[in-house]
Structure 1
Amino acid sequence: MKTLVIGAGVLGLVTAWNLKKDGHEVTIVDKIGTYAGASHRSFAWINANHKLPESYHRLNAAGVEAHEDLQKELAAHGTWFHQLGCILSDSTSDAPVNYDARVQESTEFGYPVETIDRDRLLELEPEIDWPTDAALFFPKDGHLDNFTFGDLIRDLLAEAGVDIDVREVDNVESTSSATEVAFAEGGVESFDQVVIAAGAESGPIAQRSGLTLPVAPLDSPGPRTHSLLGITAPTEVALSRVVISDRINVRPRSDGSMFVQVPPVEHRTEEGESTELLDEIGTVMEESLQELFDTSIPVEEVIFSGRSFPEDGVSIVGYLDDAHRIYSLVTHSGMTLAPLLGRLVANELVGGKEELLEDFRPSRFRDGIVPEDTDNFIGRQ
C-alpha cells in the first residue's frame, strides 16, 4: 500500500516507521523538516496524570506502557525514556483538598500514586529546597529525551529507505480508488491512503480539502495553545525526575541542563512572542530556579512554544472521508501517545479497529464542536 504521512513530528515519524515495518510504501513530508513543530518545543513529560475523561486517561496510560515496551524493544540503540516518576507539589492553602482529589481520581483509574512526606521528598530530590512537607509521587510517569528519540526513529526510517521530504501539502482529495495530494509548489501525486499528522497545521490542510478537523489555530496566542519553555545552562545541580508544582515545573535533560516552566506567568503568552517578553520570562525563570534550588542556574533560552491542540482537548484519530482514505492523527500529549498511536493507526490503515480509539473519532464533530472544559490544574501542559 502506498501511504503518505503528512508531518514529521513525533507522531508522524513513529507512524511512518510502523507502516514501513508492516510493508507499506511510505512517503513522509513536512513543510519545514523533522521535529520542526511542537515536537521541537515539548516538555516531554510522559504521563497519564489527570488526563480526563477516563477514556483519555486509559489512552494515555496505554501510551506510557507503549513507551516501556518500545524502550525494551530498541534498548540496543540507547536510552531515551526515563521512567523515574513525577513529584507533584502544591504550596497553596488548598493543597490537602487538591491532593485528596488527585489521589482519589488516580486510585479510581488504577494509576499508581503515593502520598509522600518531607523525608521521602529529600530522598528523591535532595537538592530541592522543598516549600512543602508533603507531595504526591506518580511512579509510572517519566520523561523523554525527545530529540534522542526523534533522531532514532528518523535514522531507522532512513535505514529502511524512507527520508523526510521538505514539501508543503496544499490539499488532499479522496476518490473510491485513490487519494490525490496537491502540493503547494505545484504538482499532484496519488496515494492509496494519507495520514494527516501535521499538528496545528492539520486543521488548515483539512479545511482546504473540504474536511472537518477542529484544531485550535496558533494565530491568537494564549495559555491554551502556547507555553513558555525555558532551557537552562548545563548545571552541576542534580535533578533526576519531573517535578510539577503550582510555582515551577522542571525536568532534567540529557546534557545536564533542565527544562523549566513557571505556571504563574503562562498567561503572558497572550502578549505574543517578542524579544522583550522572552527576556523578562527568562529572568522570572532564573528567580524561580533560585528559590527552588537555593543556587543560581542560568536560563540560556526561552522558547515561545505552540501546541497541537484539538478544540475539545482530546485526540482526533480516524478517517475524515467516506472513502476511508484520509486519516487524521492529531492530539495533545503527542510525546506520551506517539508509540501507542503509531502502532494503532498502522493497524487501522489495513482494516483493523482499535477499541481504545473509539471515543476519539472525527465523527464526534458532526453535530458541532463542544469546546474544552478548561480546568487550570497543577501540571497542565
Structure 2
Amino acid sequence: MVGAGIVGASIGLNLAEQGAQVTVLEAETPGAGTTSTSYAWVNSNGKEPESYYAINRAGLLAHREFAAAPAGRRSEDAETWFLPTGHLEIAADVAHEEDVRRRAEALKARGHQVEDLSAEQVRELEPGLVLPEQPRAMILFREEAYLYPLRYLAEALHRLRQAGGTLLTGARVAGFAAPDGGGSPNADSSAAAPVTVQLEDGRSLEADQVVLAAGRWTGGLAAAAGVEVPLAEFQEPGDVTVGYLARTTAVPHPLQRLLTSPWLNARPDGGGRLLLQALDLDVTADPGDVSGPDSELAAEFLRRLRAVLPDAAGAQIEEIVVGQRVMPADGKTIASPVPGVPWMYAVATHSGVTLAPFLGRAVASEVLGHAEPLLEDFRLERFREGVPAEPPRGPRKPGEQ
C-alpha cells in the first residue's frame, strides 16, 4: 500500500481488517499531502453524473458508519473528527440562485433533507451572521458535514495497527521490480508472483499486490512501472489543482456549520477558529509563493469575513496555505486495476475527504477479489481513446458553471 493520506490509510485499514497482511508506505509523514490542506467538506452536492453522485453519497454514508464504530474499535481517546452540522448556502444573484436551487431539487429528488429557509430561520441558526440586503435563496443541506482530516487519519491508522497492519514513514518508493507473470489484481493474491518495491534508501519489500494511493504523486509512481495514470498537474497560478485556505484565530460566537456565501466560504476549525475559502481569490494561488498572515491577501480574507460575521472584528489570519488538489485528467475518480500490470491497483481522486471511507472498503474488496459495481465508471480504460487536451476547470464563484 503506497500512500498514508486519508484515502490510502482507509484502504490499508480495510485490507487489514479483511485479513490481508498490509504494509503502508509513506514518503514523508501521514497526511503530509492534500489531506492536511483540504477544506474537508463532506458532501454529494452537485456531484454529477449519476455514477459520481452515487460514490460521493456512499462516502457520506460511510463516514457516518466509521464515526459510529463501537467502542472496541475506536481509540479510547479519539476526538470527534466528523461533524454532521449541515451546510448553509446563501445566494445573492440570479446565477447563484438558479444553481443552488437546481442542486437542491436534484438532492431532494434523491431523498436528501434540504430546506429553503427564511431570513428569520437563518438568524436562528447563525445569530451572528449578516445576510445580504436581498438574499435570493437560503438553502440548508442538513445531511452535509465537515471533517477534521488529520483526526480521521489518526483514527484510521490506530485501527490499522489494531488489525495487524504496519505503517512505514520516510519510505519513499523509487521503483518496482516486476514479477515474471502473476495473477490478476482480482485473483487470489496467494497465487500471484511477488513484486519487489524498491525504496530510495536502498530497502526493498516484496508484495503480491501494490495499491497506489499517493495523491498527486500517484501518476509518477505508476510511470515507474511503465503505465499512465492521467492526472492534471500544477501549471500556473490559479489553475484547477490549487486553492487558498485561510485559518483564523479564535472568533467570539463563531459559525456552527459550513457556510457558502457569494463572497466567502467558511466553516468551524476547532478552538473557536474558522477555515476560510474564497474561490475567486484562487486566481493567484501558487504553491511556490504563499502569502503570509500580514499580506494583502490575508487582509482581503478578513474584510470579507467581517462583512458576513461582525463578531470576527478582532480576529486575525493565523495561516494561509495553498492546497494542491488531486485531480484526474477528466475530473472524475480513478479507482482501477492497472491494465497490463496485474499486480497494481491505482486510486486518485478529487473529493478524497468525502470518498475516503467508501473507497477504503470498495478498493480493499476489489483487491481481494470482489468487484464493486459502483466503481465501474471509474476505470483507467476510459482513457484508451486519449486524455482530455484541457484539464477540468473549477468555478471561480458560487453559481458559476
TM-score with structure 2 setting the length: 0.88
Contact 1:54 1:109 in 2 (8 A): no
Alignment-derived partner of residue 106 in structure 2: 105
**Distance in structure 1 (CA, Å) of the matches to 2:302 and 2:308:** 10
Matched-pair identity in %: 30
Q: Which residue is 2:298 aligned to?
A: 282
Alpha carbon RMSD of aligned pairs, Å?
A: 2.2
CA contact (8 A) 2:16 2:165 kept: no
CA positional deviation for 1:208: 2.4
- Aligned equivalent of 1:10: 6
Is 1:232 the counterpart of 2:251 in the alignment? no
Q: Deviation string for 1:195-248 (max 9, x for gaps)?
A: 100000011111222111011123544240001001111222221111112210
Look up the equivalent residue of 2:174 and give its one-letter code: D
Residues 356-365 or 159-168, more deviating:
159-168
For residue 28 of structure 2, the aligned residue among 28, 32, 47 is 32
Distance 1:105 1:161 in 2: 41
Alignment of 1:192-211 (within 5 A): 192-211=208-227
Q: What is the 5 A alignment of 1:67-106?
A: 67-74=63-70, 77-106=78-107
- Determine which of 145, 151, 163 is the counterpart of 2:154: 151
Distance 1:316 1:248, change over 3 A: same
Matching residue of 1:135: 138
Deviations 1:103-154, CA, capped at 9 Å, x for gaps: 3332344443222111121121111111154311111100112121111122
1:171 aligns with 2:184: no
Report the Cα distance in structure 2 between the residues aligned to 1:31 and 1:221, rounded to whole angstroms. 26
- Is 2:22–2:165's contact at 8 Å kept on the other side of the alignment? no
In structure 1, runs of 5+ residues without a counterpart are none
Opposite residue 87 of structure 1, the aligned amino acid is L
Gaps in structure 2 of 5+ consecutive residues: 183-192
- The CA distance in 1 between the partners of 2:15 and 2:399, in whole Å, is 33
Q: Retained in 1: the 8 A contact 2:260–2:266?
A: yes
Q: Which residue of 1 aligns with 2:199?
A: 183
- Distance (whole Å) between structure 1 residues aligned to residue 310 and residue 375 of structure 2: 45
CA distance in 1, matches of 2:70, 2:328: 31
Contact 2:115-2:141 within 8 A present in 1 as well:
yes
Matching residue of 2:398: 378
Larger mean CA deviation between 100-109 and 313-322 belongs to 100-109
Q: Give the Å deviation of 1:72.
A: 0.9
Aligned with 2:317 (options 279, 282, 299):
299
Picking from 154, 163, 166, the partner of 1:162 is 166
Amino acid at match of 2:67: Q
Task: Work out the CA distance in 2 between the residues paired with 1:32 and 1:163.
Answer: 11
- Would you say the 8 A contact 1:64–1:336 is kept in 2? yes
SS in 2 for 1:228: strand
Whole-angstrom CA distance in 2 between matches of 1:294 and 1:277: 20
Q: How many Å apart are 1:7 and its aligned residue?
A: 0.7
User: 1-side partners of 2:116 and 2:82: how far apart?
Assistant: 24
In structure 2, C-alpha distance between the alignment counterparts of 1:113 and 1:152, rounded to whole Å: 30
Q: Do the aligned residues in 2 keep the contact of 1:6 with 1:195 (CA within 8 Å)?
A: yes
Shift in Å at residue 187 of structure 1? 4.1
Indicate how the Cα distance of structure 1 residues 354 and 290 shifts in structure 2: closer, same or farther if over 3 A, else same.
same
TM-score by length of structure 1 reads 0.92
| Aligned counterparts of 1:111 and 1:379: Cα–Cα separation in 2 | 20
Secondary structure in 1 matching 2:295:
helix
Number of the residue aligned with 1:121: 122
Aligned length: 376
Matching residue's letter, 1:169: V
The change in CA–CA distance for 1:323 and 1:311 in structure 2 (over 3 A counts) is closer
Q: Secondary structure at the match of 1:222?
A: coil
Counterpart residue type for residue 163 of structure 1: L
